[in-house]
Structure 1
Amino acid sequence: MDNKGVSRRNLLRYAGILSAATAVTAGLGACGDGSSSTPDTKSIEATLAFTLSSGFDPMNASSAVATTVNQHVFEALVDLDPITREPYPALAAALPTPGSDDLTWTVTLREGAKFSDGTAVTADDVVWSFNRALDPANASLMASFISFVGSVTAKDAKTVAFTLKSPFSLFPQRIAVIKIVPKAKTGDAAANKAFDTAPIGSGPFTVVSANATAGVVMGVNTHYNGPRPAKVEKITLRTTPDNTARLNDLQGGSSQAIEAVPYLDVKSVGADRTVDEKQAFNQLFLMFNCTAAPFDDKRVRQALHYAVDTQKLITTALQGYATPATSYLDESNAGYQKAATVYGYDPAKAKALLAEAGVSNLSFELVTTDTAFVKDSAPVLIDAWKAIGVTATLNTKPSSAVYGTIVPGAGFRVLAASGDPTVFGPDVDLLLRWFYLNETWTKNRHRWAASPASKQCAQLVEAAAKTSGAEQTALWKQALDLVADEVPLYPVFHAKMITAFDPARIKDFAGASTTGLYFLDASRA
């Protein structure tokens, strides 16, 4: 099956519209942020950089807060450690066992595994979770990541057999994208709606309350018997895009950890706090409506990239905490290969490309999300384009409005935003599929899907999926070179993730190279 037929209903869910978060609030009782005025050693308090903008159903959850929470609440058969990104058996008793033909894999469930409502996790729940995501009627965001799966069957109550359409060498780690959900709680539309706001998983924590502005409180799943038991009784995740508020939470002691330390304040966090800096895939990208003139001409898209002095942009907007893009992938990625086209600062070339395309006096609205480093980058982009004779006016909105209303509209032309699909996995195949094969992006957002280049990109990614080693790497290089040349959506830079925490109050914690804060092994000091 494929991800064909993405519905408007799913597009709105994917956009993370605020109404979904409101439903979460209602479904969980809206009990505020759950924080205590006197934090104790049985709880962890932290502050995230985004607000809750969607539900939690892992079949479609993609918002920063929901994916962070889901890592604590749900398990896949195999999970990726949120810090090291290494695969480990989670709900599975061991890593999957391959058959002799490279088309079959077998997984045995952990003995005694239970969901947080006390019901046993069975092979039928696993089969249901995969088929539910693969069903085109559900328009799951995860479907394109597991399109190689032909069938999933229960051999007995604890054993699951997978038959693949073609060999896929990344199978053991890729199945981490499918979190296992109880079939009994997700059997129809009404059940799915309730589950989206009050999720039930087999992970070490449960969602106690969720609020669109205050954040999420998690408690302990007392039925959990897996490899990463909870070491605290409660986790409170406050949520705010306000840089000052997050910093005040850390320095004032109400939070033991915060993500996205304001770049201006990294050096003033304090000697008694630890700052964890990691290069990330997380990027500032430019995205174009590739069906609307003149952005249907790749030379115009290329020109706007060449016009940007990326190092100046990074210094001005991020205080140096980013790396200019030399590929779709960041240079810390294990699969990184430098692209054949690298957009160094070259305003003369930018002007020449516009002239070749027959474009003069270009003007458009630059839409941006309200993520802090995106907002800070926008004026620098606009000034750079002004220097080559291009006029851009600024329209900054929350992500919910950008993806829910503006980008799907007929008037959309150019977007500057951030994106980090590495929360689902860091491998090249997954990352290419996210922005360049998923119809939500290719058909409904940058609208590159109908172009011959888009079809060629999909063929390269699918061909690479069927092989391994040097042949796979070479095919990925062709795909990376193609998207670097076409730039329907392409990074200007890859940001660094700056996490800060109080080592005197929290231990066994580290910052991640993705969005979010993760406390699977953490405890209070």
Structure 2
Amino acid sequence: MRNDSYWGDKALLDKVIFKPIADGPARRTALETGEIQGYDLVDPADTQALTDAGFQLLLRPAFNVGYVGFNQAKPPLDNAKIREAIAFALNREALVTAKYPEGSQVATQFQPPLVFGWSDQVPQYAYDPAKAKALIAESGVTDLNLEFYYPSDVSRPYMPDPTANFEAFKADLEAVGFTITPKTAPWRSGYLDDVDAGNAQMYLLGWTGDYGDPDNFVGTFFRTKQPSWGFDNQEIFDALTKARDTADLAARTKLYEEANVLIMKFLPGVPYVHTQPALAFAKGVTGYVPSPVSLESFATVSLG
């Protein structure tokens, strides 16, 4: 409800009703039938149809990362050449082009370019199946069986269709000689628990930032030892701790740029996408300004 006693400019709407609708197709139907005037987490497959039907599509700035995680406590992911082989085997460009909405970009590191400390000097792992096969041969590893975990019953901004991502990457990996065993579980009743406990060997996951600091991305992932990653790299831990504890912004930026290079050389996983999540609104909605962290003000919103 609008606070009519507010000292500043009054909100334009009398009230805003938030209606939970867990299912993506049901959200779209509710907008199309006029039950609601807008919704978040638009399925990328729906964006063109909604635009063609005259609805408004707004994009949040890219403030997330989707990645394939490696648990190095589970061989052969402790082998650096195998990790590199996987990185070169994954056709991230094709997946992002085919399955993600306009404005999405292929990730080169575990934080989006919007956040300071992003580096243009990180090692690149562009799609190269021949190089992946060569690295496998150089590794000396003969057991190329991998358990690949992906979640069910969930759609995230960085992973709107986990099954499609899994199937695309599975095909890429099998094409260079890996044998993939699928493992899946519901997002909130098994999947996250398995990953956090270190039970998953290789897995799909991601992160949407809480605030605009690299410690909320690479620090969250790699500043301390964690079961989900299964590695102990003191050089990376120390680099991220020093960057976090440095007060001067220019110095912090340089330290995080250096840390991102270290991380992508070590390759604890393969970041593959930054997305601009879409919101859909009826024609008459005006004044809605998307926020990278979903902290939007409704005071300026009106219905025409």
Q: TM-score, normalised by structure 2?
A: 0.84
Query: Corresponding residue for 1:307?
Result: 89
Query: Corresponding residue for 2:265?
Result: 485
Give the CA deviation at 1:351: 2.0
* Counterparts in 2 of 1:433 and 1:222: CA distance versus 1, 3 Å: farther
Query: Corresponding residue for 2:181?
Result: 393
* Counterparts in 2 of 1:407 and 1:324: CA distance versus 1, 3 Å: same
**Of 272, 282, 289, the match for 1:510:** 289
Given residue 432 of structure 1, which amino acid in structure 2 is its aligned partner?
Answer: V
What is the CA–CA distance in structure 1 between the aligned matches of 2:65 and 2:147, rounded to whole Å?
Answer: 21
Given residue 521 of structure 1, which amino acid in structure 2 is its aligned partner?
Answer: A
- State the SS of the aligned residue for 1:328: coil
Give the CA deviation at 1:435: 1.7
2:118 matched to 1:330?
A: no
* Counterparts in 2 of 1:224 and 1:306: CA distance versus 1, 3 Å: farther
What is the CA–CA distance in structure 2 between the aligned matches of 1:261 and 1:318, rounded to whole Å?
Answer: 11
Query: Corresponding residue for 1:110?
Result: none
Given residue 498 of structure 1, which amino acid in structure 2 is its aligned partner?
Answer: A
- State the SS of the aligned residue for 1:485: helix
Counterpart contact for 1:460–1:476, Cα < 8 Å: no
**Of 464, 476, 479, the match for 2:256:** 476
* Counterparts in 2 of 1:229 and 1:301: CA distance versus 1, 3 Å: farther
- State the SS of the aligned residue for 1:239: coil
2:222 matched to 1:444?
A: no
Query: Corresponding residue for 1:266?
Result: 47
* Counterparts in 2 of 1:459 and 1:408: CA distance versus 1, 3 Å: closer
2:191 matched to 1:402?
A: yes
Counterpart contact for 1:231–1:521, Cα < 8 Å: yes
What is the CA–CA distance in structure 2 between the aligned matches of 1:414 and 1:362, rounded to whole Å?
Answer: 13
In structure 1, runs of 5+ residues without a counterpart are: 1-218
Counterpart contact for 1:314–1:320, Cα < 8 Å: no
Give the CA deviation at 1:444: 3.1
- State the SS of the aligned residue for 1:245: helix
What is the CA–CA distance in structure 2 between the aligned matches of 1:263 and 1:346, rounded to whole Å?
Answer: 27
The percent of aligned pairs where both chains have the same amino acid is: 22
Counterpart contact for 1:294–1:359, Cα < 8 Å: yes
What is the CA–CA distance in structure 1 between the aligned matches of 2:180 and 2:191, rounded to whole Å?
Answer: 17
Give the CA deviation at 1:388: 0.7
What is the CA–CA distance in structure 2 between the aligned matches of 1:411 and 1:280, rounded to whole Å?
Answer: 30
Give the CA deviation at 1:286: 0.9
Moved over 6 A (4+): 220-230
Give the CA deviation at 1:429: 3.5
In structure 2, runs of 5+ residues without a counterpart are: none
Instruction: Count residues with an aligned counterpart.
Output: 295
- State the SS of the aligned residue for 2:77: coil
**Of 384, 409, 433, the match for 2:172:** 384
**Of 99, 123, 134, the match for 1:341:** 123
2:158 matched to 1:365?
A: no
CA-to-partner distance for each residue in 1:424-478, whole Å, 9 max, x for gaps?
21222332222222x5xx4232233x32343233344235x23332x33221111
Query: Corresponding residue for 1:83?
Result: none
Counterpart contact for 2:65–2:207, Cα < 8 Å: yes
What is the CA–CA distance in structure 1 between the aligned matches of 2:85 and 2:269, rounded to whole Å?
Answer: 14
Query: Corresponding residue for 1:292?
Result: 74
2:275 matched to 1:495?
A: yes
What is the CA–CA distance in structure 2 between the aligned matches of 1:507 and 1:319, rounded to whole Å?
Answer: 22
Larger Rg: 1
Counterpart contact for 2:200–2:228, Cα < 8 Å: no
Counterpart contact for 1:327–1:342, Cα < 8 Å: no
**Of 240, 265, 279, the match for 1:458:** 240
Q: Between 332-341 and 474-483, report the one with greater CA deviation.
A: 332-341
Counterpart contact for 2:151–2:185, Cα < 8 Å: yes
Query: Corresponding residue for 1:521?
Result: 299
Counterpart contact for 1:321–1:496, Cα < 8 Å: yes
Counterpart contact for 1:232–1:524, Cα < 8 Å: no
Counterpart contact for 1:374–1:417, Cα < 8 Å: no
Counterpart contact for 1:435–1:489, Cα < 8 Å: no
Q: TM-score, normalised by structure 1?
A: 0.51
What is the CA–CA distance in structure 1 between the aligned matches of 2:44 and 2:271, rounded to whole Å?
Answer: 19
What is the CA–CA distance in structure 1 between the aligned matches of 2:184 and 2:102, rounded to whole Å?
Answer: 23
Asked which structure has the greater RCO (Cα within 8 Å, sep 6+), the reply is 2
Give the CA deviation at 1:488: 1.9
Query: Corresponding residue for 1:253?
Result: 34
2:214 matched to 1:431?
A: no
What is the CA–CA distance in structure 1 between the aligned matches of 2:72 and 2:2, rounded to whole Å?
Answer: 47
Counterpart contact for 1:304–1:350, Cα < 8 Å: yes
What is the CA–CA distance in structure 1 between the aligned matches of 2:169 and 2:18, rounded to whole Å?
Answer: 37
What is the CA–CA distance in structure 2 between the aligned matches of 1:374 and 1:232, rounded to whole Å?
Answer: 39
What is the CA–CA distance in structure 2 between the aligned matches of 1:388 and 1:332, rounded to whole Å?
Answer: 34
What is the CA–CA distance in structure 2 between the aligned matches of 1:386 and 1:488, rounded to whole Å?
Answer: 20
* Counterparts in 2 of 1:344 and 1:259: CA distance versus 1, 3 Å: same
Counterpart contact for 2:90–2:127, Cα < 8 Å: yes
What is the CA–CA distance in structure 1 between the aligned matches of 2:120 and 2:132, rounded to whole Å?
Answer: 21
Given residue 280 of structure 2, which amino acid in structure 1 is its aligned partner?
Answer: A
What is the CA–CA distance in structure 2 between the aligned matches of 1:502 and 1:235, rounded to whole Å?
Answer: 15
CA-to-partner distance for each residue in 1:15-61, whole Å, 9 max, x for gaps?
xxxxxxxxxxxxxxxxxxxxxxxxxxxxxxxxxxxxxxxxxxxxxxx
What is the CA–CA distance in structure 1 between the aligned matches of 2:9 and 2:256, rounded to whole Å?
Answer: 34
* Counterparts in 2 of 1:224 and 1:360: CA distance versus 1, 3 Å: farther
